[in-house]
Each structure stands twice: as structure tokens, then as C-alpha cells.
Amino acid sequence: LPLSPHPTRRRAMDAGGGEQLSLAAVRDQLIREEDSIVFALIERAKRPRNTPAYSAAAAGGSLAEFFVREAQVLHAKAGHYQKPEDVPFFSQDLPPPVFPTKGHPKVLHPFASSVCVNDAIWKMYFNELLPLFTADGDDGNYAETVALDFACLQALSRRIHCGKYVAEVKFKDAPQDYSPPIRAKVNLVGALYFTSSNYLSRLISWLIWLTSYTLLPQLIFHLLYRLTRFLLHFS
């Protein structure tokens, strides 16, 4: 497994403004985020699907939605969602931090704060991805199940929204290449995201099928780990 990013590279991304934002620092961060995604998915795969956790209750929402909403309120009070890559799934009426938080340097274009693909991530995760890597069944552990789902959702969202830093670095390196599509309002982020999520779903489907016919599931998960990392570099 990769080691934590070198301290000097991390400082290059976190301090001093946009001039010190480097592709090497961003790449180190992306590797860590991809590790989090893979291990979150593996932990969730240890539980069956537990479909009742996603069925609408009397109040109109599912346990999964209720858990994510309430967990985000607690996270917001603790000072989460202050950085561009930390984007809540339900941003309405989130409370301000209760405790003082450290300010973060503004290294991105102001428009970056409005970029959010969490609606697409939510639909992709529950409608496409979850059925691919969880087994049918119901063990009754719904609270633990949705807590694991929340970890998966946050890891996916954070990794995908870290693409804002990639976009910023690449634009500053070659503004002449990216200015025309920006002026033409080409949705490059959306196109890349949906392309990568489609391939990711197919990849996981193939690997889960292969796991059922092999005596080496650890090898398959290793392949999943490596191929997912490779794929996510294109998002």
C-alpha cells in the first residue's frame, strides 16, 4: 500500500495559495482517496444488501437517507464541509461549525464551489454499484449497513470532487488548451464522471462474477484495487 504523502508535497497543496498547487501534490492526495474508496467498498461487501434499509418509511424517506442527513448535520457542527472537496449530499440548512475551524487557502477559482455531482453519485451508488458487489440477503443490521454506505458515499464524493484541483493545475499549466471549451461551456467534468462511473460499474461486475469462480478472492480484490485506481485517474 502507498505511504502517506511526503510532508513537503502536502504543504504544497495546502498552503501558500494557488502558485504552490502542484500536480504531484494532487496526485498523492488522489492515491489516498482511492485507497479509501476500495477499502470502504470491501467493508460494505461484508454485509448483505439489506434492502429494507433503502425502503421508504412512514416519514417518506429511507433509513439510508435519514442516516446520511443526520450524520452530515453532526459533521457540519464539527467543522466538516469547509473545503472544496468536502461536499455534502444534502446541503440544505446545514448548521455552522460549533467549534473554531482553521481557514484554508483559496487555491481554486470561485466557480469551483458550485461544482457538485453528488446527486449523480447517489443514484449511481444505490442503483448501479451497490447491487454489483453485495449479496442478496437480510441480516437485520440496518444501522451498521447504512453507516458503511455513508463511508462509501463520502469516499466516492471526496475523490471525485478532488478533480477540482486537477482541473485547476491543468488549466494553469495550459490555459490556451482549456479556455476555448470553458468559453463554449462544454461540460467536461460531467462527461468524464459519467464515462468513468460506467466503466467502474462494468469492471466491478466482471470482478465480482470472476470471484465466484475462483479460489483466490484476495487476488481478485487486489485486481479490483489496482484497476479501480487506474480507472479513477481518468475522472
Q: What is the pLDDT of residue 89?
A: 96
Alpha carbons 83 and 112: distance in angstroms, whole number? 11
Binning pLDDT at 50, 70 and 90, where does residue 28 land? confident
Tell me the domains of the chain and their CATH numbers. Answer: 7-232 (1.10.590.10)
155: pLDDT confidence band, cut at 50, 70 and 90? very high
- Which of 53, 30, 187 is CA-nearest to residue 115? 187
Q: b/e map of 25-62 (b: 16 or more CB within 10 Å)?
A: bbbbbbbbbbbbbbbbbeebbebebbeebbeeeeeeeb
pLDDT, tens digit (0-9, with 9 covering 90-100), for 39-85:
899 899 999 999 999 998 766 689 999 999 999 999 999 999 998 89
Chain segment 156-197, per-residue pLDDT in tens? 999 888 888 887 888 888 888 877 776 776 555 444 444 444
Contact 193, 177 (CB under 8 A): no
**Overall pTM > 0.85:** no
Q: Which pLDDT score, from 0 to 100, does residue 20 have?
A: 62
SS3 sequence of 19-84: HHCCHHHHHHHHHHHHHHHHHHHHHHHCCCCCHHHHCCCCCCCCHHHHHHHHHHHHHHHCCCCCCC
